[in-house]
Amino acid sequence: MAENPLSWMDRHHFLLRRLHSLSGIVPIGVFLINHLLTNATAFLGPDRFDEHVRWLHGLPFLTAIEILFIFFPLLFHGAYGIKIALEGRINVSHYPYMDNWRYTLQRVTAWIMVVFILLHLAHFRFAHWFGGVDYKAARPFFFAFTQQGFEGLWLPKWAWMVAYAVGLAAAVYHFCNGLVTFCITWGITVGIQARKRMSVAAGLLGVVLLTWGALSLYALGTTKPPSERTPPAIVRVAQ
């Protein structure tokens, strides 16, 4: 009996796994770091946050950059990641080793990230599709726009804060643990000691990223921008 021919994805399994691993670091990981750093400027006050976001929105060919280096890589990484997650088996209850726990948490945080990214995009970038404010109306009041996104659309403020805290933790763990496995997969860390050092470095990076994210959530949840900095269009919709 003739064997079933391999599918295109099976024939290119090695290449796709390498691209999936790479895309999680560049450009997605780079974007995550920049995104959390940008949001952390909220802790320095509305003016600094608005200034930084205004600079980002002023980049030439911004839409093309977002599509090519953010949305498309996210789509590929997420879709192929779902395939990997569906094929993998979680057996941490039978083999409760550290590496098995890390593997399990990597898969769990992957599912959390799929849900969170879709929610995050609907909450801000495409909020106008669901009765919210068009993000283009935020200019130049980005802090007020972001802050008001946590008030009144679908969920109460505390629920949004919890959701974003969970999403933050999942994103940071998934990226930092993925950074460790990336270095192993690509032969960058060879040997137990090199792997341990990389794990420590990734853990320290995770602490920094979590701190940035926590500072941004705290600032957005507690800082009240001057009323004159809030455009009428945002106020009307928020009410």
CA separation, residue 202 to residues 53, 81, 206 (Å): 27, 21, 6
Residue 210 is predicted with a pLDDT of 98
pLDDT cut 70: percent of the chain above it: 86
Residue 12 is predicted with a pLDDT of 80
Q: What are phi and psi of 126, to 5 degrees?
A: -115, 30
Residue 39 is predicted with a pLDDT of 96
Would you say 183 and 161 are in contact if contact means Cβ atoms under 8 Å apart? no
6 inside domain: no
How confident is the model over 191-210, as a mean pLDDT? 96
Would you say 173 and 109 are in contact if contact means Cβ atoms under 8 Å apart? yes
Residue 2 is predicted with a pLDDT of 47
Residue 94 is predicted with a pLDDT of 47
234 inside domain: yes
Residue 238 is predicted with a pLDDT of 40
Give residue-wise pLDDT tens across range 105-152: 999 999 999 999 999 999 888 888 887 777 777 777 889 889 888 886
Cα separation of 169 and 165, whole Å? 6
Give residue-wise pLDDT tens across range 42-98: 999 999 999 999 999 889 999 999 999 999 999 999 999 998 888 866 665 544 567
5 inside domain: no
Tell me the pLDDT band of 13, cut-offs 50, 70 and 90: confident
State the CATH number of the domain containing residue 24. Answer: 1.20.1300.10
8 inside domain: no
Higher pLDDT, 15 or 89: 15
User: Taking 60 as the threshold, does the pLDDT of residue 239 lie above it?
Assistant: no
Residue 1 is predicted with a pLDDT of 43
Residue 72 is predicted with a pLDDT of 96
- The CB density around residue 111, as the number of other CB atoms within 10 Å, is 13
CA separation, residue 147 to residues 25, 28, 120, 127, 144 (Å): 29, 25, 14, 14, 5
Tokens read off for 139: 């200019």
Residue 216 is predicted with a pLDDT of 97
Tokens read off for 146: 């972001």
Would you say 209 and 33 are in contact if contact means Cβ atoms under 8 Å apart? yes
Residue 14 is predicted with a pLDDT of 87
Tell me the pLDDT band of 3, cut-offs 50, 70 and 90: low
How confident is the model over 178-200, as a mean pLDDT? 93
- The CB density around residue 222, as the number of other CB atoms within 10 Å, is 9
> pTM, whole model, 2 decimals?
0.88
Tell me the pLDDT band of 224, cut-offs 50, 70 and 90: confident
For residue 75, the enclosing domain spans: 14-238
Higher pLDDT, 39 or 139: 39
1 inside domain: no
Domain count, the chain: 1
Higher pLDDT, 229 or 54: 54
7 inside domain: no
4 inside domain: no
Give residue-wise pLDDT tens across range 153-174: 778 899 999 999 999 999 999 9
93 inside domain: yes
